[in-house]
Chains A and B, each alone.
Chain A
Amino acid sequence: MECLKIDNITKVYKGNKKEPDKIVLKDISFSINEGEFVCLLGPSGCGKTTLLTMMGGFLEPTSGKILLDGNEIKGPGSERGYVFQNYALFPWMTVKENIAYGLKFSTKTKEEKEERVKYLINMARLNGNEKKFPIQLSGGMQQRVAVARALAGFPRVLLLDEPLGAIDFQMRELLQNELDQMVQEAHITAVMVTHDVSESVFMSDRVIVLGNNHGHIVSDYKIDLPRRRDRESEEFKKCVTELTSLVRIAFNENITAGEACIMKRRK
């Protein structure tokens, strides 16, 4: 069943006298099915984060629509859980208060909320850390709090903006395992932005490769490997190799566009 539909999205950042308008995304369309984990992969500057920000409702598309269960997305809402690149945990709230904040504005009773927070703390393996403040947590724990908070209000989709962007390599694989586990347990549709090929192969059912040419979709790549993927397996490595070359194509699209631009000027 179709869950999230990206319908002909164009995003233009208005320029000023010095800079011309910048077309970030042009006529992008794809849809995401219920329960799928989709990665948006591409070189930096290809517009993948812009696209996710629009799914979150923090930014409006210049034209086109994003539909969630057939309803157009207008502004942020609790049916979409968002995990920010820097986690955006509230520094003055404890772990428990941070997670509970995700439920604060829901219509559930106090007992139900209490129950839900308890469940999430358990699921994110944060027992014993409820009263700590974000600054006192390790990067991995911060990530789990952020995911738990985003899942708190039973969102329809989870949107993840490079949640492991700033983490070193060894730690990254560990956190990928944790994130994978949490998302699998929550049985939720998810969209994640990343520029790490191996991460996208490890996490997702489908990888959409966006090119530098206004986010043109270079490839819609399905990954059909059993879960808790083995990073050392031949199939995994094959997917990584194939996707890496696709990302290279995606990156080179920019160069060709850039070269075309220079050529035009020369003429």
Chain B
Amino acid sequence: MERPKNKIWDVKARRLELVNDTYLGYIVLMILCAIWFFASKNIKSELILPSFEKTAVEFLTGWTNKRVMTNFWITLKRVLLGVGYAIVVGTIIGIGMGYSKKVYNALSPIINSIRQIPIMTWVPLSIIWFGLGEGPTIFLIFMSAVFPLTINVIDGVANIDQNLVYASRSMGASLSDIIRDIILPGAFPSFLTGVRLAIGGGWQSVI
């Protein structure tokens, strides 16, 4: 049997396509849970491996616990805000750097050195900059989300067939027309990958 292609962006149908064997993930999850269940029965020490049943109950009651849920929404809001800023900044920088070699050469030393800084080292500085409260958290989420996004957008824009840009220019398109009609749709698949990585990165730096 032919394996279905795992594409997340279907150019033909112009929509996101969910891969139809997602159930495989649930099967693996269930197998892992079963291993956990039997392992915890054998180990009999809650400190080393808490029992599966207790953890499952805690997990489920957490969803109805008011305190847990308010905190969950606060975190979600922070992640969305941080990732949102990252999408705006990353897309603009990414398009600039992907489209123009000059912009790329001008910005890549800064971008490439800043993105190596471990996220935790930003903590003291961000507290000094933004004070205590929402500010530093959103900043940290932004910092860990913006680089994977930028790099993906750069890659997506740079890999657009140069002839597509030439073609639209030969039909009289201006730079803004080219960005709207060629660059944005052409880089969209990479942009989506970037957003996925950005959201992942954002969640990881939630403190």
Q: Is the CB of A80 within 8 A of B172?
A: no
B184 CB, min distance to chain A CBs, angstroms: 10
Cβ contacts under 8 Å, A85 to chain B = 163
Interface size on B, residues (CB 8 A): 21
**Which of A4-12, A97-105, A204-212 is the contact stretch?**
A97-105
Q: Please list the 10 inter-chain residue pairs (A to B) with the smallest Cβ-Cβ separation, ordered nearest first.
A: A105-B172, A88-B163, A78-B172, A76-B170, A76-B169, A88-B167, A92-B185, A84-B163, A82-B170, A102-B171
B134 at the interface (CB under 8 A from A): no
Min CB gap B81→A, angstroms: 30
Q: Binding site of B, secondary structure by majority: helix, strand, loop or mixed? A: helix
Nearest CB to that of B13 among chain A residues? A133
Given A102-B171, A105-B177, does the pair A92, B14 have CB atoms closer than 8 Å?
Answer: yes
- Partner of A81 from the list B14, B161, B170, B177 (CB cut-off 8 Å) is B170
Q: Would you call B164 an interface residue if the criterion is a C-beta within 8 Å of the partner chain's C-beta atoms?
A: yes
> Please, how many residues of chain A have a CB less than 8 angstroms from a CB on the other chain?
30
- Cβ B173 vs Cβ A105 within 8 A: yes
Q: Residues of B with Cβ closer than 8 Å to A?
A: 11-12, 14, 161, 163-164, 166-174, 177, 181-182, 185-186, 188
Q: Is A91 an interface residue (CB 8 A)?
A: yes
Cβ-based interface call for A106 (8 A): yes
What's the least CB distance linking B126 to chain A, in Å? 39
Shortest distance from the beta carbon of A149 to any chain B beta carbon, whole Å: 8
On whether the beta carbons of A90 and B172 are closer than 8 Å, the reply is no
Query: A78 contacts B171, CB within 8 Å?
Result: yes
The listed residue (A82, A90, A153) touching B182 by CB distance below 8 A is A90
As a 0/1 sequence over residues 64 to 82 of chain A, the CB contacts with chain B under 8 angstroms (1 = contact) are: 0000000000011110111
> In the complex, A143→B163 CA distance in Å?
15
- Asked, given contacts A91-B11, A92-B11, whether A86 binds B170 with beta carbons under 8 Å apart, the answer is no
Q: Which residues of A contact B177 (CB under 8 A)?
A: 104-105
Chain A: minimal CB distance from B8 (Å): 15
Specify which of B172, B174, B185, B186 lies most central, judged by the most chain A CB atoms within 10 Å of its CB: B172
Q: List 26 A–B pairs whose Cβ atoms lie within 8 Å, in order of A's numbering.
A: A56-B170, A77-B170, A78-B171, A80-B170, A81-B170, A84-B167, A86-B161, A88-B161, A88-B163, A88-B164, A90-B168, A90-B181, A92-B11, A92-B14, A92-B186, A101-B168, A101-B171, A101-B181, A103-B171, A104-B177, A105-B177, A106-B172, A135-B11, A135-B12, A150-B170, A153-B172
